[in-house]
Amino acid sequence: MQQKIKEPRFHIVKRADISSKEAWIIRVIAIVAALALCAIITMVCTGDNPISIFATIFKGAFGTQRKTWITLQYVAILLIISLALTPAFKMQFWNIGGEGQVLMGGLAAAACMITLSGKLPNAVIILLMIVTSILTGAIWGVIPALFKALWNTNETLSTLMMNYIATQLVAYFTIVWEVPKGSGKIGIINQNSNIGWLPNIGNKYLLSIIAAVLVTIGMFIYLKYTKHGYEIEVVGESRNTARYVGISVEKVIIRTMLLSGAICGLAGLLLVGGINHTITTTISDGQGFTGVMVSWLAKFNPIAMIFTSLLIIFMDRGASEISTAFELNQSFADILTGIILFFIIGCEFFIRYKIIARKDLGKENA
Amino acid sequence: MRKIKKVLSAVLAATMVMALCACGGTAETETAAKATDTEAAPAAASDVKVGFIFLHDENSTYDLNFINGATQACEAAGVEYMLKTNIPEGQECYEAACELADAGCDIVFADSFGHEDYMIEAAKEYPNVQFCHATGTKAHTEGLSNYHNAFATIFEGRYLAGIAAGMKLNEMIANGEITADQTKIGYVGAYTYAEVISGYTSFFLGARSVCPTATMEVTFTGSWYDETAEKEGANKLIEDGCVLLSQHADSMGAPTACEKAGVPDISYNGSTASACPNTFIVSSRIDWAPYFAYIIDAVANGKEIATDWVGTLETGSVVLTDLGSAAAEGTAEAIEEAEKAMNAGTLHVFDTTTFTVNGETLTSYMADVDTDPEYTADTEVITDGYFAESGSEFRSAPYFDLQIDGISLLDTAY
């Protein structure tokens, strides 16, 4: 009996370091492989030409001037929400309550538009909308932070539960303000007087885009060059280290969640006052969760987030175009988006680890 | 590095091959498209292009009904059309409407109530494009010449479906399955909105015209499409002792709950016979094809589109599906008779002698026809002894929002 040494055919080994060039090669391979798989699935399932489907996705996002503006506007909102979540994630505070914070900001804006219309001058109403929605978002963000700081409750659960409370609050006020009675819809608020509508700068899409640019630059500087940003990083790396060097972890958590919630509130303000001019329970459309993915994919780098949010919106806009052009169900485009995201996220594994095949040296005599 | 290059080139080669196959594919599809074009050409009289906006896709019975009507009407008229599905009731609707107008559509149509305000915004921006909206209430007060509402006298269809329900109840009494005082109908509604109230009231009046002891319980889900809530609502009604169900919400929740419990069901928006072979009686629905044919014809020939268009039994807009196996004997004849009387004008669904409100017969009622945030009751709608629902002189969408005796609402939160 010859003793067999069991050696698996493949080893997984953590890479000590990887050059950025190599990392990018892996990413490009992942995207090419994702597109190839998408192409195969498209041909097998639908019989449609995959190249023309990809072309249609592109046309859906950038086909006309209006489409390009709409895409950029959507990117702006998703980017703002992702940026809002970033500082919290960076300090390892799992804020998955972006949805609720956006909704509450939007609800505050809608409340001002509906209840103050005709009672105060338009400029004052808009000013109040800005203040109240940012404040409401901040409050909604800071409640779980206080619980975490004071009693060390699990923030993943509390932020998530706060979403449901926010959704139900919006549902309640929808019934209070519905027009016509019983319809469960508020409809466009002040459609003819335009009271409380945020002003158009240039065209109706630009305001959100400018806001997103400002928030991106601000967040980049805040995280990279300020003392606060540094504190967030230290708390994220190790709470004990932070305590040891004299950083008040509780204070950082509360302060960061105030900021996180406030920026989500801003997104709510833009959605209600600048874009939809109404409030519904689905107005943030899951972006509080999508933002988590955008932020992680970009490794919490605000500049990289521009590209990750663009990728997601690009695929999403393309998806609806596919369903129009090919009369395929929208779910099909979601499948393609899922494949692409899976590969992009999956390739991070190959950036961190490498796979080594067993060296057989030609001694196989089984 | 060399390995990576090898892999890369292999992957690239594979993609190229696929691209080549794919190109072959394109050529075929293009010719196919051309062939259909030439086939359609004899029928096509115009270069009208129609864009459609749907709240959901074909998985919703409500939207499927619209999608079928749209493709049917456009293909019959030989005009080009574009469908946009899954458009939420927000700014997305405005964007979708503008994109369709940008794409050269002469008519843009949206199918959901909450699309209305956004369609109006788009209509203001594109005065040369006709914007048509089903179930909306604002065209007659908005003062836009290119914005139009449409609905149908579906309450007549509901009344006829109600007759089928009454016949079934009578059959169940005759078979000894229930007694006359157990003839309780259940109804799963979406919102306490006039469209729903008008629907269940007409259905109930139809049933009671055949089975005088009938009563009804209504529950609301607070959503137009929520399969779980609709199923739970239906189960609750069945547990409550309802012996026959109907619904005004768009999923298969209630019909499948009925099938499981073996309770006869009258569905809406289309036949559910295939999913519910044992319990399906009949379904009323609005056929939108006549409306689409009308607006295509109007635009092609430069005619005005009515601000409020009301489809009827006579225009073929209000239809009943084929009767299911659960329908009672003689149902078809009873429905036919009532339909004749309706068309002759001798039978009015909301005849004030057939119902009471708080024990009193109605002689006058001011309805909220002009939509406003204060729900101002603004229009007298009782004429010639009946409630004039969906009167073309008022507005196309229903405004019957009275709570008549015999119907009890289980929850009115929505």
Tens digits of per-residue pLDDT, A140-183? 999 999 999 999 999 999 999 999 999 999 999 999 999 888 88
- Assigned token pair, B241: 């002792």
pLDDT, average across residues A18-24:
83
What is the sign of the dihedral through the CA atoms of A279, A285, A286 and A288?
A: negative
CA distance B103 to chain A (A): 9
Residue-level pLDDT at B1: 44
Nearest Cα to A318, choosing from A291, A298, A337?
A337
Q: What is the pLDDT of residues A267-320, one digit of tens each?
A: 999 999 999 999 999 999 899 999 999 998 888 999 999 999 998 898 888 877
Going by the DSSP 8-state scheme, the letter that residue A116 receives in this structure is S
Q: Cβ A181–B14 below 8 Å, yes or no?
A: no
Indicate the pLDDT class of residue B74, thresholds 50, 70 and 90. Answer: very high
pLDDT, average across residues B200-227:
94
- Assigned token pair, A262: 């406030």
Residue-level pLDDT at B316: 94
CB contacts under 8 A, A 284-303 vs B, are: 285
The partner residue sitting opposite B18, judged by closest CB among A29, A39, A187, is A39
pLDDT > 80? residue B9 = no
The partner residue sitting opposite B18, judged by closest CB among A50, A66, A179, is A50
Percent of chain B with pLDDT over 70: 89
CA distance A130 to chain B (A): 20
Indicate the pLDDT class of residue A22, thresholds 50, 70 and 90. Answer: confident
Q: Which of A27-41, A53-67, B302-316 has the highest mean pLDDT?
A: B302-316
Residue-level pLDDT at B411: 84
The partner residue sitting opposite A183, judged by closest CB among B7, B29, B113, is B113
Percent of chain A with pLDDT over 90: 63
Q: Which residues of B touch A205 (CB under 8 A)?
A: none
CA distance A322 to chain B (A): 10
Q: Is A191 part of the contact surface with chain B (CB cutoff 8 Å)?
A: yes
CA distance A233 to chain B (A): 35
Most B CBs within 10 A among A51, A313, A328, hence the mutation to make, goes to A51
Q: Cβ A35–B15 below 8 Å, yes or no?
A: yes
Q: How many CA atoms lie within 13 A of B94 on its CB side?
A: 20
CA distance A160 to chain B (A): 22
pLDDT > 50? residue B12 = no
Q: What is the mean pLDDT of chain A?
A: 90
pLDDT, average across residues A52-56:
85
Residue-level pLDDT at B13: 47
Closest residue in B to A273 (Cα) is B91
Most A CBs within 10 A among B36, B58, B91, hence the mutation to make, goes to B91
CA distance B333 to chain A (A): 36
Q: Which residues of A touch B394 (CB under 8 A)?
A: none
pLDDT, average across residues A129-139:
97
Alpha carbon distance, N-terminus to C-terminus of chain B = 65
Most A CBs within 10 A among B1, B12, B15, hence the mutation to make, goes to B15
Q: Cβ A181–B375 below 8 Å, yes or no?
A: yes
> If you write DSSP's letter for every residue of B85-99 in order, what string do you get?
-S--SSHHHHHHHHH
Residue-level pLDDT at B131: 97
Most A CBs within 10 A among B53, B80, B99, B223, hence the mutation to make, goes to B99
The partner residue sitting opposite B88, judged by closest CB among A50, A282, A323, is A282
The partner residue sitting opposite B22, judged by closest CB among A51, A184, A324, is A51
Q: What is the pLDDT of residues B263-296, one digit of tens each?
A: 999 999 888 899 999 999 999 999 999 999 999 9
Q: Cβ A51–B23 below 8 Å, yes or no?
A: yes
CB contacts under 8 A, A 40-69 vs B, are: 40, 43, 47-52, 64, 66-67
The partner residue sitting opposite A324, judged by closest CB among B82, B121, B401, is B82
Q: Which residues of B touch A113 (CB under 8 A)?
A: none
Q: What is the pLDDT of residues B374-384, one digit of tens each?
A: 888 889 999 88
Q: Cβ B91–A275 below 8 Å, yes or no?
A: yes
Q: How far apart are CA A56 and CA B18, in angstroms?
A: 17
Q: What is the pLDDT of residues A170-224, one digit of tens each?
A: 999 999 999 888 888 899 999 989 999 999 888 889 999 999 999 999 999 999 9
pLDDT > 70? residue B10 = no
CA distance B286 to chain A (A): 20
Contact B327, B164 (CB under 8 A): yes
Percent of chain A with pLDDT over 70: 97
Q: Cβ A324–B193 below 8 Å, yes or no?
A: no
pLDDT, average across residues B309-316:
93
User: Which of left, alpha, beta for B16 (phi over 0: left; psi -120 to 50: alpha)?
Assistant: alpha
Indicate the pLDDT class of residue B390, thresholds 50, 70 and 90. Answer: confident
Q: Is A175 part of the contact surface with chain B (CB cutoff 8 Å)?
A: yes
Indicate the pLDDT class of residue B138, thresholds 50, 70 and 90. Answer: very high
Q: What is the pLDDT of residues A223-268, one digit of tens each?
A: 999 999 999 999 999 999 999 999 999 999 999 999 999 999 999 9
Nearest Cα to B87, choosing from B78, B95, B77, B98?
B95
pLDDT > 90? residue B338 = yes
Q: Which residues of A touch B117 (CB under 8 A)?
A: 187-188, 191, 278
The partner residue sitting opposite A280, judged by closest CB among B19, B57, B90, is B90
Q: Residue A17: which residues within 8 A CB-CB, separation 6 or more?
A: none
Q: Is A118 part of the contact surface with chain B (CB cutoff 8 Å)?
A: no
Q: Cβ B18–A40 below 8 Å, yes or no?
A: yes
Q: Residue A306: which residues within 8 A CB-CB, separation 6 or more?
A: A75, A79, A216
Q: Which residues of B touch A177 (CB under 8 A)?
A: 373
Q: Which residues of A touch B113 (CB under 8 A)?
A: 183, 185
Residue-level pLDDT at A334: 80
Q: How far apart are CA A354 and CA B8, in angstroms?
A: 17
Nearest Cα to B79, choosing from B303, B310, B307, B301?
B301
Residue-level pLDDT at B40: 39
